Amino acid sequence: DAKTTQPPSMDCAEGRAANLPCNHSTISGNEYVYWYRQIHSQGPQYIIHGLKNNETNEMASLIITEDRKSSTLILPHATLRDTAVYYCIVRVASNTGKLIFGQGTTLQVKP
C-alpha cells in the first residue's frame, strides 16, 4: 500500500471549514483513499473513502486531485467535537483489509 504524508497538526476555528491535506504521490490505480479519525481515548472512526471522484457524506467531503497524488478532507463546519487525530490511508480494495496507520494530523478546533 502507498505511503501517505500529512501535516502533524492543524488548528481550525469553530464553525469554519477544516481542510486536512494528504499526499500520496505513489498511489496506484487500484488503491482507495480512506480517512479515519480518533477522538481522544476512543476507537478510530471511519469517515469517508474514495477512488477517483470526489465524495461527500454526512460527516465530510473528500476531494481527490485529478492525478490522485493528493487529497483533502473537508469538515464543512468544524465543531469542538471534531478535535481528533485524522488519518489518511491508501489501500488496495482486494487486499487483506489491513489498515496501515501513520502519525495522522492532530486537528484542534478552537472556540
Partner 1 sequence: DTAVSQTPKYLVTQMGNDKSIKCEQNLGHDTMYWYKQDSKKFLKIMFSYNNKELIINETVPNRFSPKSPDKAHLNLHINSLELGDSAVYFCASSHAPGTGSYEQYFGPGTRLTVT
81 lies in the site for partner 1, by CB under 8 A = no
Region 5-64 residues binding partner 1, contact defined as CB under 8 A: 32, 34, 38, 41-46, 49
Neighbours of 81 (CB within 10 A): 9
- Spatial strand order of the sheet with 55-56 comes to 18-23, 70-75, 61-64, 55-56
- Looking at the Cβ atoms of 85 and 107, the one nearer to partner 1 is 85
- Of 53 and 96, which CB lies nearer to partner 1 in the complex structure? 96
Of 2, 62, 84, 85, the one binding partner 1 (CB under 8 A) is: 85
